[in-house]
Structure 1
Amino acid sequence: MADKSTLRKQALAQRKALSDSEFLAMNQLLLEQFKTLNFSEVKSIHAFLPIVKKREPDTFLMIDWLKETYPHIHIVVSRSNFEDHSMSHHLFSREDLKENAYQILEPQTKTVFKDKIDMVLVPLLAFDRRGYRVGYGKGFYDRFLSEIETVKVGVSLFDILQEEISDVHDNDIRLDLCITPSGIIKIEI
């Protein structure tokens, strides 16, 4: 077992060590795995936007593919409130995005998306076989996911941890599945 702080440091170092060509190849493999998901019942998908300096998976590839292949699916992205660690959710428009103080692209529109969100692409640094994940430790996604019923899809550059995360809390929300460059892992609870 390993704690989140240790796993967070390891994952960030592992990402940083990737060459540009490795990173690009991994993102293409993530996209190919993403394309195999069943979107037949999906009317809206919440996608995180990648923090480039932290080498997060390039979800713009998935967003662009969705817009082309499933134009009827609403793509929703969030804006973060760093005072109370909450998020508001807005329809995606590339022209509406602006970097915040933390170098995260966020929508600028005030119009909030109020419909049901059928699937959420969840950012993470690492995840275990039970579906628990290591994020950046602020709880934005755990708060958001605790408020809705949706399919929770982790997006990871790396495979599942061989060990369990030791410091799981009651408010940690489990993933339903996770996309990695090597495949899709369904969480069996």
Structure 2
Amino acid sequence: MRKADLRKQALRQRNSLGEQELAELNKKLLERFKTLDFSNVKSLHIFLPILRHKEPNTWPLIDWLRRQHPEIKIIVPKADFESNLMSHFHYQGQSDLALNRFGIPEPQNADTFEGTPDMVLVPLLAFDERGYRVGYGKGFYDRFLENLDTQKIGLSFFDAAAQINDVHLNDIRLDKCITPDRIIDFTLNNHGKGL
């Protein structure tokens, strides 16, 4: 399936989720997230959700990390829609955030993060059995993750599509993807294996 078709299908699927179903899926994502190995993670880059678009809710993940792993630095992005590049900041708490014109929470006064995070949670609309993802199409995360030696982990309410047919040379593969039912590890083979 082509990215444009997968994008439309994923948006339809997400928009059809009711509040209770959404809450249950987010709860399951959190439970799977808790099983990741954080022993070598000193910094974790996490996207902040556009909740009105029914994106996976990363706030419970952030709250859990701050309670269970206060030693891990949490890094959040800020998008520049002129250049389609992101800058990265130390998370200071929700009081430092404001919504941009697209409804994305962004840091206002936080210190810039320099360096490479040990783990990046990557937003997506869909992904395939090889670990390639479909985002909103702006390429923010492909540019950010290019040449970055870090764990790249997607979050998805839905399971993998068989194959994205129009993968581009610049598309970055995920190492893992967390779904409500399993964690798929794409580093084990070309098709990923559920844990």
TM-score, reference length from structure 1: 0.97
What code does the residue aligned with 1:32 have? E
Q: Structure 2 stretches of 5 or more lacking a match?
A: 191-195
Determine the structure 1 residue equivalent to 2:53: 54
Aligned 8 A contact 2:91 2:110 in 1: no
Determine the structure 1 residue equivalent to 2:134: 134
1:165 aligns with 2:164: yes
After superposition, the C-alpha distances for 1:11-39 in whole angstroms (9 at most, x for unaligned) are 00100101100000000000000000000
Quickly say closer, same or farther: Cα 1:110–1:33, change in 2 above 3 A: closer
Q: Distance in 2 between matches of 1:144 and 1:109?
A: 21
Aligned length: 187
Q: Distance in 2 between matches of 1:89 and 1:80?
A: 9
Q: Distance in 2 between matches of 1:149 and 1:131?
A: 16
Determine the structure 1 residue equivalent to 2:9: 10
Determine the structure 2 residue equivalent to 1:104: 104
Deviation at 1:155, TM superposition (A): 0.4
Q: Distance in 2 between matches of 1:95 and 1:172?
A: 34
Q: Distance in 1 between matches of 2:167 and 2:185?
A: 19
SS in 1 for 2:44: strand
Determine the structure 2 residue equivalent to 1:29: 28
Q: Distance in 2 between matches of 1:69 and 1:164?
A: 36
Q: Distance in 2 between matches of 1:112 and 1:32?
A: 30
Deviation at 1:95, TM superposition (A): 1.2
Aligned 8 A contact 2:157 2:180 in 1: yes
SS in 2 for 1:95: helix
- Superposed, 1:117-156 pairs within 5 Å as 117-156=117-156
What code does the residue aligned with 1:149 have? D
Percentage identity across aligned positions? 55
Q: Which structure carries more relative contact order (alpha carbon 8 Å, separation 6+)?
A: 1
Q: Distance in 1 between matches of 2:42 and 2:81?
A: 29
Q: Distance in 1 between matches of 2:123 and 2:72?
A: 20
Deviation at 1:148, TM superposition (A): 1.7
What code does the residue aligned with 1:34 have? F
Q: Distance in 1 between matches of 2:109 and 2:2?
A: 38
After superposition, the C-alpha distances for 1:21-66 in whole angstroms (9 at most, x for unaligned) are 0000000000000000000000000000001121000001100000
Deviation at 1:156, TM superposition (A): 0.4
Deviation at 1:115, TM superposition (A): 3.2
* 4+ residue segments displaced more than 6 Å: none
Q: Distance in 2 between matches of 1:13 and 1:119?
A: 29
Q: Distance in 1 between matches of 2:147 and 2:53?
A: 27
Q: Distance in 2 between matches of 1:59 and 1:110?
A: 19
